[in-house]
Amino acid sequence: DGIFPALIAHKFDVVISAVTITEDRDKEMDFSDPYLNSDQSIATKEDSGIKAKADLKDKILGVQIGTTGELTAKEIDEEIGVAEIKTYDDILMVFEDLKAGRIDAIINDIPTSAYIVKDNPELVIVEKIITNEKYGIVFAPDTPELLKAVNKVLKDMTEDGTYDQIYSKWFGENK
């Protein structure tokens, strides 16, 4: 939760950790051009009986605190009513609690969830929740030259095919 204040205080130069560009964040910090499109997802244990969002009624959801996954979980709660939304500092801890049966499902960005699920055969993504999010690299607002340099590198990587090669390596498909 303290990563953005630390960035603004120049404890480091950038944050690149599946950060969704949001209106509120964009008011306080600068973002690179988007480098990845994302939506939210529902991940659960394969034998949970959960097949879709409607099945989350009265279930315990896990989310990483301060994320768009948390916002989406709150919207689901308002829509259908869940038993509880448990928040965690680290997404890997959320997945550990899912595997241990302490929560019923996870609401999280689909690229991250897909990456974790592929190495855990007992877990599945049962639904993609369309949110049309975009990831960006985050900068303190007083570093325009660094922002400009990173945007140039992103553009060059897209144009020369490097971006597609990296994407395919990590996500196993073309964007």
Write down the pLDDT at residue 89.
94
Task: Indicate the domain borders of the chain.
Answer: 3-35+136-171, 38-132
Write down the pLDDT at residue 169.
84
pTM strictly above 0.95 = no
Phi, psi angle pair for 88, to nearest 5°: -135, 155
Q: Which CATH architecture does the domain made up of 3-35+136-171 adopt?
A: 3-Layer(aba) Sandwich (3.40)
Phi, psi angle pair for 105, to nearest 5°: -160, 165
Q: Fold identical between 3-35+136-171 and 38-132?
A: yes
Structure-block tokens of residue 89: 């500092």
Cβ atoms of 102 and 127 closer than 8 Å:
no
Write down the pLDDT at residue 17.
84
CA dihedral 76→42→87→134, nearest 10 degrees, is -90
The sign one gets for the Cα dihedral 19, 93, 125, 60 is negative
Mean pLDDT per block of 10 residues along the chain (175 residues) reads 88 92 92 94 98 98 95 98 97 98 98 92 97 95 96 98 89 61
Supply the CATH classification number for the domain 38-132: 3.40.190.10
